[in-house]
Amino acid sequence: MEWQAWTTIATLAVVFGGMIFTRIAPDLLMLGGLAALLALGIVTPKEGLSGFSNEGMLTVAFLFVVAAALRDTGGMSWVTQRILGRPKSLLGAQLRLMLPVTAMSAFMNNTPLVAMLLPVVDEWAKQQRLSVSKLLIPLSYAAILGGCCTLIGTSTNIVVHGLLKKEGLGGDLTLFSIAWVGVPCALGGVVYITLFSRWLLPDRKPAISHHDDPREYTVEMLVAPDSPLQGQSIEKAGLRHLPGMYLMEIDREGEVLAAVSGRERLRANDRLVFVGVVESVVDLQKIRGLTPATEQVFKLDGERAQRCLVEAVVSNTCPLVGQTIREGRFRSTYNAAVIAVGRNGERLRQKIGDIVLRPGDTLLLETLPTFVEQQRNSRDFYLVSALEGAAVPRHDRAWIAVGILLAMVLAASFDWVSMLSASLLAAIGLIATGCLGSGPARRSVDWQVLIVIAAAFGLGAALEKTGVAQVMATNLLSVAGTHPYAALVAIYFMTMVCTAFMSNNAAAVLLFPIAMATSTSLGVSHMPFAIAVMLAASNEFSTPVGYQTNLMVYGPGGYRFGDYVRFGGPLNLLVAAIALAIIPLVWPF
């Protein structure tokens, strides 16, 4: 190997070493490694930066916008409730998540599927008080496993099938041909994840707990007359075990129900009094069928969709100190409605309008964004700050957001348009219909995830261009001997190793000709070797760079490189064992 190959190996060693032994952000490490290879001329700008124009990466970017629109309209909560429900345990949560994801990823590309579900699962984990790190790697792995059950489940399957047809082979492969191997691998993988994730995955605690924030708010919500929550029990409506919040009492036509049972059924116009931290108050505003109990929010200037939530601390010079919120005409004075009040953790039992303001009270306000600038230097408040990601949800547009989502999935699934085109049209449609503003759409894109994915393509191109991957493959095959099964095992593991350090499609394209040449020299059928390349390139669990979905959950899950090696390494071996046992039976040598 020439100096370019050794430099590429050294660069990758530094990048992966940084991911394993430091807490430096993975996007900085990956981008730094790519920059070094570009500066040394090992890859050209076109080769190194090809990932930034990759269809998969761009599709993920547009799907962040789709997910944000679902979140801000309340459509995401609807999807979560219908598909994921309210599990009683971590095992139940993992099964509720993995089984539908595995099934869906068999018929649609797994990368956009994970991109759509990533914020959904994050919010769901918080609501169910589950560690998100116990769910995001299972989400990625389930999507990968499901993609191997059909010929269209992953782009890698399609690429290898195309290479086979180019060689005049693979004409008898149908949509479900590889299901003979893919389904047993998927079932084995799901069983492994549910059995061993409890011990092998890190346990990152949810961001909210009752003791995280001393600013406990008292907030009143009203069950709307047309609310879908009517007739549901407190438990079924999901109001019993809210993270960082609890239901203190219900005011029903003047009768106060304290210490409410989870079996109590909700009625129209019930006034629900909650106590909890600010993040949970924000989440409460997004539940379909609940509205702020104060009528003042409907008397504010401007549409609700244009408003935001703001925290303001009352100063001792505020003219409304000593008066109730209603008497002081707070809404008329500041064009802001008080949603909740916090007072040093004290539980305020009065209605919002009857609370007498004191210096130091923290108010959660629904108002226009201009309020922050107008009151930032005011003597009426010590502190004024807008809450990020706390836009007032537009429940009236949730059906539009869900409809556009379904149209996107159907269009891509039936191959009417590419996934990139479908996601782009969906994002534009959601902005055009007012489901999401242009500003929130820009902020919804997770640039760290996109940079990591794009840089990984550049690093993989360096491995391929310098011949490192070719040398690795040739050396491994040289020890396999002339036995067809030993050669099959060598091809599978070499593909798996290459996929761990470069894109799965690149690994498949690289190993395919080697697999064909091996089968020709042995005088046996090409099919088992082609299927081995297809499955090995599509099933990589042991590194975050081994598959795009692994990279996508890396940061949000709070994972480290070693988590993938420890948990995904044995899964790699399990899937390999199942695949290598079945492939020769379905496609004999």
DSSP secondary structure, 179-191, as one string: HHHHHHHHHHHHH
Check whether residue 118 and residue 178 sit in a common domain.
Answer: yes
pLDDT band per the 50, 70, 90 thresholds, residue 581? very high
Check whether residue 172 and residue 233 sit in a common domain.
Answer: no
Check whether residue 34 and residue 86 sit in a common domain.
Answer: yes
Residue 211 lies in a domain: no
Residue 391 lies in a domain: no
Which range among 160-174, 293-307, 355-369, 499-513 has the greatest average pLDDT? 355-369
Q: Taking residues 381-405, what's their average pLDDT? A: 77
Check whether residue 140 and residue 189 sit in a common domain.
Answer: yes
Locate 465 and state its tokens: 């261009």
Which residues, in sequence order, are bridge partners of residue 342?
217, 362
Residue 412 lies in a domain: no
Angle, in degrees to the nearest 10, between helices 527-538 and 484-499: 30
Which residues, in sequence order, are bridge partners of residue 310?
365, 386
Check whether residue 181 and residue 246 sit in a common domain.
Answer: no
pLDDT score at 209: 41
Check whether residue 195 and residue 270 sit in a common domain.
Answer: no
pLDDT band per the 50, 70, 90 thresholds, residue 84? confident
Number of domains in the chain: 2
Check whether residue 225 and residue 148 sit in a common domain.
Answer: no
Residue 405 lies in a domain: no
Residue 503 lies in a domain: yes
Compare 88 and 200 and report the one with higher pLDDT.
Answer: 200
pLDDT band per the 50, 70, 90 thresholds, residue 364? confident
Evaluate if residue 417 carries a pLDDT over 70. yes
Q: Is the dihedral of CA 417, 421, 427, 430 positive or negative?
A: negative
What's the mean per-residue pLDDT of the chain? 81
Check whether residue 221 and residue 145 sit in a common domain.
Answer: no
Check whether residue 124 and residue 233 sit in a common domain.
Answer: no
Q: Is the dihedral of CA 106, 405, 286, 440 positive or negative?
A: positive
Q: In the listed set 367, 386, 405, which residue is the last one of a domain according to the structure?
A: 386
Q: In the listed set 386, 415, 436, which residue is the last one of a domain according to the structure?
A: 386
Compare 90 and 282 and report the one with higher pLDDT.
Answer: 90
pLDDT band per the 50, 70, 90 thresholds, residue 247? confident
Evaluate if residue 33 carries a pLDDT over 60. yes
Check whether residue 194 and residue 309 sit in a common domain.
Answer: no
Q: Taking residues 475-490, what's their average pLDDT? A: 76
Check whether residue 26 and residue 170 sit in a common domain.
Answer: yes
Residue 128 to residue 132: CA distance in whole angstroms: 10
Q: Taking residues 243-266, what's their average pLDDT? A: 79
Q: Domain holding 243: CATH number? A: 3.30.70.1450
Which range among 200-209, 369-378, 395-404, 424-433 has the greatest average pLDDT? 424-433
pTM of the model: 0.64
The amino acid sitting at 508 is A
Residue 272 lies in a domain: yes
pLDDT score at 574: 96
Residue 426 lies in a domain: no
Which range among 41-50, 121-130, 215-224, 393-402 has the greatest average pLDDT? 41-50
Compare 136 and 235 and report the one with higher pLDDT.
Answer: 136
The domain containing residue 71 runs over which residues? 6-204+448-586
Evaluate if residue 508 carries a pLDDT over 80. no
pLDDT score at 213: 47
Q: In the listed set 368, 386, 404, which residue is the last one of a domain according to the structure?
A: 386
Evaluate if residue 74 carries a pLDDT over 80. no
Evaluate if residue 193 carries a pLDDT over 70. yes
Q: Beta-strand (E) ranges in 387-427?
A: none
pLDDT score at 515: 81
pLDDT score at 517: 74
Evaluate if residue 206 carries a pLDDT over 60. no
Residue 545 lies in a domain: yes
The DSSP code sequence of 517-559 is: HHHHHHT--SHHHHHHHHHHHH---SSGGGSHHHHHHHTTTT-
Check whether residue 194 and residue 256 sit in a common domain.
Answer: no
